[in-house]
A and B are shown apart, each in its own frame.
Chain A
Amino acid sequence: MPGLRVLVSKDEFEGEIYTSTVIVEGNDLPAPKDGADSSEIGRARPRVDGRSRVSGTARYTQDVILPGMLHALILRSPYPRARVRAIDTKKAEALPGVRGILHRFNVPEIEFRSEKTIFREEVRFVGDDVAAVVADDEDIARVALGLIAVDYEILPHVVDLEEAIRDKAPKLTPEGNVFDAGSYKRGDARKGFKDAVVTVEATYRTSTQMHNALETHGAVASWDGDRLTVWESTQGIFEVRNMIKNALKMDPAKVHVICEYMGGGFGAKLGTYKYSLYASLFSMRLGRPVRCILSRREENLAAGNRSATLQHLRLGGKDGRIVALEHESWSNSGQGRWAANPTGPTNTLYDIANIASTAHRVMTNAGALSAFRAPGYVEGTFALESAVDELAAAMNVDPLTLRRRHARSAIDPRTGNRYTLKRLMDCYAIGAKEIGWSKRKAAGMRGSAPHRRRGLGMATQICGGGGGPPAYADVHFETDGTAVLRVGVQDIGTGTRTAVAQICADEIGLTLDQVTVRIGDTDAPYGPGSGGSVTLASIGPAVRLAANEARAKLLAAAGGVLEVRADELRLERGVVVSKGARTPLREILSKLSSSTIVGTGLRHPNPTGLAIKTFGAHFAQVEVDVRTGEIFVEKIVAVHDIGRIVNPLTAASQVQGGVMQALGFALTEERIVDRGLGRVMNANLEWYEIPTAMDAPEIVVRFVDTPDRKANNLGAKGLGEPPIIPTAAAVANAVANATGARVRHAPMTRARVLEALAIAGAMA
């Protein structure tokens, strides 16, 4: 094959650099120039799938109801740690309508998520899988769960992060409960602190946040005797396929995964969980479709979370600058095998000469963490950006000024590589103007009512979002002149379907309604999982190449049909334009009978020796009732530097959403676990309080809309994670500005705010 080469690509995912071997073919396109005009890109377009979303016809996994479908439910451990000695299923099996039961004594050997079995001998958290039942309907399956007798030997447990760290805690592994999760050094922090004139030191805490995507995890599996089709609510159809085929030792071609619509993931749906294996195993055994969908309670026990953290920070200042920074963190990973490292922003955000950071993973008898929208970065930024403000106050420097002094560098301090683009200073300028930062007073302002104080705060974000290969797209034309774009990705609510349609229409010269997008199906060539803000920056450039090739071929064909030289033709809104003539595309294609024009594209590797990052700053204006501890977030200004904006309407929605989820993290969202019982007491949406419409402040969204021309041929970067990162710290800083009270624990509940106000003597 001409032009085919094998290369090594280095790409960032959630703060870590991964190396992979990729195939590249042909040449990439140049990125558009700054300010280049475009018929679709950069235009606010309502979603192409809007109609199905508002009319209830969009089919989500829970809406897949197949003839003869059976229902599987999961028996979960009521104990945080216990040995399953015996399981008696006789009564359950005798119940009419029960079709099968799986548990550790009868399950086939299955390796899954780095373990040798899907049913542990030692269950390790309340909610851990003990057995799965499949029955004719859910009612029967539920009754059957109650009829299974399990003999548990109860073992000592620990669920709380700070208890698990202590020496007297039960040891969950022979090595203990605390594990190294990475450390980093730059310069000499000890020397830096010796030089420092001002030092601040504080401990910050963040509680466990639960994703609570409205659609719970779940799957419907259907075995047709030859091939397994799995409908799953997922952020990564190919990851689901890989995990199922690996666990069940099947050929990839025999596993077909579909996710047409999905009701939110936020990181917890990257890959599959055990429910899909139960559905698949039962379906293959019984020859009928099987649905296994988690309840809200199960979702909050066994489907991931953002780790609680304990973070100790020390900052040294001199001459109005930060000269040293130390950060040590402990993250409650539950039964997870990795830690979402909170020190990423510490290590990379600011140009600070002397840094030392250490991260620890702590194992407890709680459900495993999973990625949660900027995992580690949200927790770390809350602590880091709170501490930066504390140092600014101690040095009597405006906190924005202090940040500007450390934000100018065009070099990634960790790798020494130059950024492809960094417009953080612009973010600061735009945000400061929009929030009215010049009116900020170091001691806060009077509020709108008695006992209310007003304050301004801000914080910065750094995140990945460069995406990378492999990712593929193909485009072909129907005889009616419309194009069909196929990409192996899924739309998790970010508007991927609409964005890729815009890129395709723009490149070819069609209107948006002339492009049909097919996504969410592993029968397409590979596309990446939607995590780490990679989707658009990965798939978008491939779509552009595919569309570009399709357009070139189409114009050549049109030239042949019209008997005009192809380079004298162009396509505008579905019309082939030549000198003095306009021919609708469908007229040309109808003359080619069933001959089909196909364009394909792939994602070329990222540039070597450069760092691709996104930057942004959030500004918050709050009022605080100093007698009741109530925080009123009045306004958030969110400014992001993410390269070129493909769709300003859906991009702004993403930022709005990130801010709202961050406000939940900042103010109300917190998993509450009884330490004695090991049970999550608020595994529901009643006491796990996510923001409502009444909690939404005014949110002003601004972009530094400049193409990142060195990053990829689209000039676009990811936006999924950036807007959730800096809000909590901005709010905490605004609260401190308003009242003088520093709340160092997110969420900033009434109890914590009242305590901080009392400590600060700020309740008068």
Chain B
Amino acid sequence: MQFRGPGALDISLNVNGQDVTVHVPPHRSLLDTVRESLGLTGTKKVCNEGDCGACTVIVDGRPVYSCLTLAIACEGRTVETIEGLSRDGKLHVVQQAFIDHDAYQCGFCTPGQVMSVVALLRANPAAREDDVRRAVAGNLCRCGAYNNIVAAGVAAAKKS
């Protein structure tokens, strides 16, 4: 077993269903990698230390903080970002519900919130209000759109 790094090296990732190779050092976070190397800037950088949830992506089916995830640790895993949700220009039911319920204000936390709700509904399609509220408990919204976010999640659960 060889150690790799500490300089930049080629890392193979599967992001939104596509195999990609990026050239980054082992300390580079998944967040910085999707944003800066892949140009997927929908995932937001807010605290960079696991205290806010704006960088939430789905890795192997579970929502995680991409700021605390090393890109190199995602080799062999599937990564989904906000950009991977809509299909053929049609919004995901959770995205549409966020629009309908005005589940945002400045919108900076929105991609992370959406990813948390999407992951919840995949695991628990019959999610109710309390489930949604707990599912987004790790996603701060400084504009305070929480009740609308929860309403959007509940509405999406009913539709999906």
Residue numbers of A with Cβ under 8 A of B are: 46-47, 50-51, 53-60, 62-63, 65, 139, 211-216, 261-264, 266, 295-296, 492-495, 649-650, 652-654, 656-661, 684-686, 690-696, 698-699
The residue on A at minimum CB distance from B94 is A54
Q: Which of B58-66, B70-78, B120-128, B146-154 is found at the contact surface with chain A?
A: B146-154
**Residue among A212, A493, A686 with max Cβ neighbours from chain B (10 Å):** A493
Q: Which chain B residues lie closer than 8 Å to A685 at the CB level?
A: 46-47, 49, 51-52, 140
Residues of B within 8 A of A652 (CB): 102
Q: Is B100 an interface residue (CB 8 A)?
A: yes
Chain B 117-140, CB-CB to A under 8 Å as 1, else 0, gives 000000000000000011011111
Q: Is B99 within 8 A of A50, CB to CB?
A: yes
Q: How far is the CB of A355 from chain B (nearest CB, A)?
A: 33
Listed by A's residue number, 29 A-B pairs whose Cβ atoms lie within 8 Å are: A46-B99, A46-B102, A47-B99, A54-B99, A54-B104, A56-B40, A56-B43, A56-B81, A56-B111, A60-B41, A60-B108, A62-B44, A63-B35, A65-B36, A212-B142, A214-B106, A261-B106, A263-B46, A263-B106, A493-B106, A493-B143, A494-B105, A653-B105, A656-B146, A660-B141, A684-B51, A685-B49, A690-B142, A693-B134
For residue B15, CB closer than 8 A to chain A, the reply is: no
CA distance A694 to B138 in the complex (A): 10
In whole angstroms, what is the CA distance A57 to B111 when docked? 10
Q: B83–A55 contact, CB under 8 A?
A: yes
**Using Cβ atoms and an 8 Å threshold, which residues of chain A touch B137?**
692-694
Residue of B40, B102, B141, B148 most packed against chain A (CB within 10 A): B102
> Given A54-B98, A215-B106, A262-B106, are A656 and B142 neighbors across the interface (CB < 8 Å)?
no
Could you tell me if B49 and A296 are in contact, using CB atoms closer than 8 angstroms? yes
Within 8 Å by CB of B42, from A50, A56, A139, A262, lies: A56
Q: In the complex, are the beta carbons of A649 and B107 less than 8 A apart?
A: no
Asked if residues A653 and B41 are in contact (CB atoms below 8 Å), the reply is no
Please give, as numbers and ranges, the residues of chain A lying within 8 Å of B136 by CB-CB distance.
693
Known A-B contacts: A214-B108, A214-B140. Give 7 more (CB < 8 A).
Answer: A213-B108, A214-B106, A215-B44, A263-B108, A495-B102, A653-B143, A684-B51
Known: A56-B111, A696-B144, A696-B146. A492 touches B44 (CB 8 A): no
Query: Is the pair B91, A54 in contact by a Cβ cutoff of 8 Å?
Result: yes
Q: Which residues of A have CB within 8 Å of B5?
A: none
User: In the complex, what residues of B have CB within 8 A of residue A656's CB?
Assistant: 144-148
Question: Quick one: closest A residue to B46, CB to CB?
Answer: A214
> CB-CB < 8 A to A495: which residues of B?
102, 105
A684 and B47 within 8 A (CB): yes
CA distance A628 to B81 in the complex (A): 41
Question: Chain A residues near B134 (CB, 8 Å)?
Answer: 693-694
Q: How large is the interface on B (under 10, 10 to 19, 20 to 34, 35 or more residues)?
A: 35 or more
Interface hits, B1-52 → A, CB 8 Å: 25, 35-36, 39-49, 51-52
Residues on B with C-beta less than 8 A from A696 are: 133, 144, 146-147, 150
Is B79 on the interface with A (CB-CB < 8 A)?
Answer: no
Pick from A62, A658, A684: contact of B144, CB under 8 Å: A658
Scoring A47, A264, A494, A686 by chain B CB atoms within 10 A of each residue's CB, the highest score goes to A264
Task: Report Cα–Cα, A46/B83, bound state, in Å.
Answer: 21
Cα A198 to Cα B98 with chains together (Å):
53
Q: Which residue of A lies closest to B152 (CB)?
A: A54
A410 to B4 alpha-carbon distance, docked (Å): 75
> Which partner residue on chain B sits nearest A213 by CB separation?
B142
CA distance A53 to B96 in the complex (A): 11
How distant is the Cα of A693 from the Cα of B146 in the complex, in angstroms?
Answer: 5
In the complex, whether B54 has a CB less than 8 A from a CB of chain A is yes
A262 to B99, CA, bound (A): 18
User: When chains A and B are docked, how far (Å) is the Cα of A696 from the Cα of B136?
Assistant: 12
CB atoms of A661 and B40 under 8 A apart: no
Q: Which 4 A-B pairs have the closest CB atoms?
A: A56-B42, A660-B144, A263-B108, A493-B106
Would A53 and B104 count as touching, CB distance under 8 A?
yes
* Contact with B149, one of A63, A139, A693 (Cβ below 8 angstroms): A693
Which residues on A sit within 8 Å (CB–CB) of B141?
214, 660, 693
* Chain A, residue nearest B96 (CB): A54
Task: Please determine whether B102 and A214 come into contact, CB atoms closer than 8 angstroms.
Answer: no
